[in-house]
Structure 1
Amino acid sequence: MAITAAMVKELRDSTGAGMMDAKKALTETGGNMDEAVDWLRTKGLAKAAKKSGRTAAEGLVAVHVEGGNGVAVEVNSETDFVAKNAEFQEMVGKITYAAQGVDSVEELLAADLGGKSVADTLTDKIATIGENMSVRRMAKLSGDTVVSYVHNAATNGMGKIGVLVALSGGDEAIGKQVAMHIAAVNPAALSEADLDPAVVEKEKQVQMDIARESGKPEQVIEKMIEGRMKKFVAESTLLSQQFVVNPDLTVEAAAKEAGATITGFVRLEVGEGIVVEKEDFAAEVAKAAQG
């Protein structure tokens, strides 16, 4: 696979690596961006950051809460211009309201929206606005109390990031603070028990490779890995993270001080994980010239 300047720049932006190091990492991994990040980390040439999380889709995430039940829905559009369109926002609001009564995107697309299915409503709106749209995903959360938060709000209840937090005890004030923390820090899971074992194992392997590059004895390496994995878990799980409002406390401790127990959360970000292949400018011109 040819390694382009754009690929090198993207890897440098996401890791802080030098240009030649980034190019070598991509060459060694056949152009796989995620593997290149791990390669750089193993060589000690990249900051230990999350993967680049390349996103290209636009749209909105909307949240709605009634009592102890909350729902979050992501509706994508091709451009941010459409996401700011009042008609699009109104449709997203109605779709989110309809999502309260279903449990999957498939059921949501079939749900009634003023005499038409959500799928047909989307088709009509695509014809009117002239841009492709889709309901990408939805998530529901229940608890004694469910609190919502929207970051970069385009209008009430919808924006670029939507968060739901479920609490047992406490009040909405601590729930709102925790929701803002989740929007900013993006924890991978609620607790260590909720972490994806495959993610943990991959991180452990990366840390082993890094430690062995040091050339230290195996017993020292084992202690190094143990400490680094504890740090990884603490930084990846909501309950163990330092609370952005008061870094002297973990999120769990801050909630406990407020008389609350956090029982779950949902965080949806527009376009998260979507990669759109882009042609370089010369290729676009060549294609246009060929008709």
Structure 2
Amino acid sequence: MAITAAQVKELRERTGAGMLDCKKALEANNGDIELAIDWLREKGISKAAKKSGRVAAEGLIFTLVSDDNKSGAILEFNSETDFVAKNDDFVNFGKKVIEIALKESVETVEELKAVTVDGKTVETMLTELIAKIGENMNIRRFTKLHASNDGLVVDYLHMGGKIGVLVNSKGEVNSENIEKLRGVAMHIAAMDPKFLDKSLVTPEDLEREEHVLRTQFEEEMKQTGKNLKPEVVENIIQGKLRKYYEENCLNQQKYVRDDKKVEDFLKPMTLVEFIRFKVGDGIEKKEEDFAAEVAAQIAGK
């Protein structure tokens, strides 16, 4: 199949590999981005792949937790430019909407937009704000977490609201536990874990990672001329899988402020769930000049 400039561009941004390597990877995998990422890793061309996609939208993340720390909400409010995201009207609207999201029994963006405040729906207020500022804006997503009777929720904002985190944990609501849990929320913002615990890694994810590691290791042995016994290879692969858990699973990660694993640092509290939003995750902004440049280079080979 024909490989497009946009596909090469996306793969390049997600892996950091060279343009021609990305083109070869896509051609070898019928244009499948995820398989192409694995192919590049197997060849040792890309050591890691960004799973969240390219950040291309502007805006802010807003979070709010109830006074009793029993519930919390997190919301992404987008704008076209970072300049507008710093506008007081934009910020104040985001704060107002997150308050509504936490207070009202709503679970979707559509339900949130339909809430009426002072005779106007949230959607109407958003339309008026767009008309006033002259730039398109969007309430993209929001989520709420609710703690059990023996639990608590805390929030954390990073980079001036570019990353937001909510964490739900079992434990007593007191200042010490709130402080510890907020530290873990900061850790989540920095380390971007994909799973809460290694027990939640899906068989498909594990099988895919193991396949990549084995192929990668075989390539390394071919290049170095090594010929290891199968049991030695198996031990190495299992060690690499343990490293995968440590890098991707929150409970198994080393806490950024301590050598302990996160789950050990938090004891006697235990984590229940977490949400991490980063502004623009998964949204791709058109950059036609760059795409044209890639197309020209591909055509010229």
What's the TM-score bracket when you normalise by the shorter of the two chains? 0.7 to 0.9
1:51 offset after TM fit, Å? 3.6
Q: Measure how far apart 1:82 and its partner are.
A: 1.1
**Distance change >3 Å, CA 3–CA 224, structure 1 → 2:** farther
Per the alignment, residue 158 of structure 2 pairs with: 151
In the aligned structure 2, how far is the partner of 1:75 from the partner of 1:176? 23
In structure 2, the partner of 1:59 is 59
| 1:193 corresponds to which of 195, 199, 211 | 199
Q: Aligned to 1:193, what secondary structure does the other structure show?
A: helix
Count of aligned residue pairs for this structure pair? 275
Q: 1:129 aligns with which of 122, 128, 133?
A: 133
User: TM-score w.r.t. structure 2 length?
Assistant: 0.81
CA contact (8 A) 1:151 1:162 kept: yes
Cα separation, 2, equivalents of 1:2 and 1:189: 33
**Would you say 1:96 and 2:105 are equivalent positions?**
no
- Give me the whole-angstrom Cα distance separating, in 2, the residues matched to 1:218 and 1:105: 53
Match of 1:74 among 73, 76, 89: 76
* Distance in structure 2 (CA, Å) of the matches to 1:110 and 1:222: 56
Query: What displacement does 1:96 show?
Result: 0.7
Aligned AA (1:103): E
Give the Å deviation of 1:19: 5.6
Q: Deviations over 1:144-185 (max 9, x none)?
A: 2211110012xxxxx111111122225111111101100000
1:109 is aligned to 2:121:
no
| Match of residue 138, structure 1, among 131, 135, 142 | 142
In 1, Cα distance between equivalents of 2:52 and 2:141: 21
Q: Structure 2: where are the runs of 5+ without partners?
A: 293-301
- Equivalent pair of 2:75/2:98 in contact (CA under 8 Å): yes
Q: 1:232 aligns with which of 238, 241, 244?
A: 244
Q: Deviations over 1:215-247 (max 9, x none)?
A: 66655544443332222122111000011111x
CA change 1:7–1:282 in 2 (3 A) is closer
Amino acid at match of 1:120: T
Deviates more, 1:119-128 or 1:77-86: 119-128
Distance, in Å, in 2 between the alignment partners of 1:124 and 1:18 is: 45
Q: What secondary structure sits across from 1:265 in the alignment?
A: strand
Alpha-carbon deviations, 1:29-67, whole Å to 9, x = none? 456554432211011122234347211011111000002
Which residue matches 2:266? 255
Partners in 1 of 2:204 and 2:97 — Cα distance?
34
Aligned counterpart, 2:178 = 172
Deviations 1:82-130 (A, max 9, x none): 1111101111111111111212222111112332111222111111111
Paired position in structure 2 for 1:28: 28
CA distance in structure 1 between the aligned counterparts of 2:12 and 2:4, rounded to whole angstroms: 13
Q: 1:244: which partner in 2?
A: 256
Structure 1 residue runs of 5 or longer lacking an equivalent are: 154-158, 284-291
CA contact (8 A) 1:3 1:26 kept: no
Residues in 1 aligned to 2:117 and 2:203: alpha-carbon distance in whole angstroms = 40
| 8 Å CA contact retained: 1:95, 1:113 | no
Ranked by relative contact order (alpha carbons within 8 Å, sequence separation 6 or more), the top structure is 2
